[in-house]
Amino acid sequence: MAQVKISVSNLNLHYGDFHALKNVNLEVEENQVTALIGPSGCGKSTFLRTLNRMNDLIEGVKVDGEILLDGQNIYRQEEDVVSLRKRIGMVFQRPNPFPMSVYDNIAYGPRIHGTKNKRKLDEIVEKSLRAAVLWDEVQDRLYKSALGLSGGQQQRVCIARLLAVEPEVLLMDEPTSALDPLATMKIEELIQVLKKDYTIIIVTHNMQQAARVSGVTAFFLNGDLIEYGVTESIFTKPTDKRTEDYITGRFG
């Protein structure tokens, strides 16, 4: 059993009167890909956003329970959200590169965190783009707008932008849902490469994708974590009837 990176206990999230996450308990292993699956509105994306406290930005959200990152509660009073988000990065559903050059997109994180040296930035940009398997495709157009790239390339710019701040955990919120199959395949291959160095949690609508990329799968339904375990056994011999119904396509 690998080391536990994130440990969630008794997590509840209320959005106004709506109880969006109900007493979720879960442990995320280090250097593992954990997939969160479930029908729309089941709370999987909401759960993902509690992990880097992106829900803080939404008015009316109340979180209680504990989320330990390397043993420390990220919801404690004195937690510095900014440095937390540096450690736990996020890739969104739709590629959202800044309307700037590819270079400036990647250099954005290091710059706001204080790296000014041009040579150092060049180094980070190249390293991050290589890590996101994008360098060969964009090295000739580093100084042109990132918005001129294809959707799949844009998503990889976003991943590279994230890698540039050297996070420990990558949260991916349906990162391929806006992409075509070929671009999706590239992102999935990239996830396989990245898991050597990062702990990855990916929300996906697509069960084949969960089966392909993840080692551990968690199934959410109506805010409850129904079942959680090694991907293979979740997909071949689920213990809960509802999990079975979902993965065999009876609903959702």
Partner 1 sequence: MNSRLADRIATFIFWTGALLVITVLGAMIVYILYHGGKYISWDFLTKPPQVVRAGGGIGPQIFNSFYLLFLSMVFTVPVGLLGGVYLAEYARNNKLTEAIRLSIETLNSLPSIVVGLFGLLVFVNMTGWGYTLISGALALAVINLPLMVRISEESIRGVPDSLREASLALGANHWQTIYRVVLPSAFPGLISGAIITSGRVFGEAAALLFTAGMSSPALDFSQWNIFHPASPLNPFRPAETLAVHIWKVNTEGLIPDLRRVADGSAAVLILVVLGFNLAARWLGRKIYRQMTAA
Helix ranges restricted to H, the chain: 44-51, 81-87, 102-112, 118-131, 135-138, 151-163, 181-194, 207-213, 231-236, 241-247
Instruction: Tell the smallest beta-carbon distance from residue 166 to partner 1 (Å).
Output: 11
Per rule CB under 8 A, is residue 205 in the interface with partner 1? no
Per rule CB under 8 A, is residue 86 in the interface with partner 1? yes
Tell me the window of 39-47, 138-146, 185-193, 204-212 that interacts with partner 1 (CB under 8 A): 138-146
Which of 15, 75, 108, 135 is close enough to bind partner 1 by CB under 8 A?
A: 108
| Footprint of partner 1 on 51-70 (CB under 8 A) | 52, 54, 57
Q: How many CB atoms lie within 10 A of CB 230?
A: 12
Instruction: Tell the smallest beta-carbon distance from residue 248 to partner 1 (Å).
Output: 34
| Separation between Cα atoms, residue 16 and residue 113, nearest integer Å | 34
Helix axes 151-163, 181-194, angle to 10 degrees: 20
| Footprint of partner 1 on 155-174 (CB under 8 A) | 158, 161-162, 165
| Separation between Cα atoms, residue 212 and residue 229, nearest integer Å | 15
Token pair recorded at residue 127:
């390293």
Instruction: Tell the smallest beta-carbon distance from residue 99 to partner 1 (Å).
Output: 4
Q: What are phi and psi of 134, to 5 degrees?
A: -130, -15
Per rule CB under 8 A, is residue 83 in the interface with partner 1? yes
| Residue pointed to by tokens 């806006």 | 178
| Footprint of partner 1 on 207-236 (CB under 8 A) | none
Which residues contact partner 1 by CB under 8 A? 52, 54, 57, 82-86, 89-90, 92, 94, 96-100, 108-109, 111-113, 141, 144-145, 147-148, 158, 161-162, 165
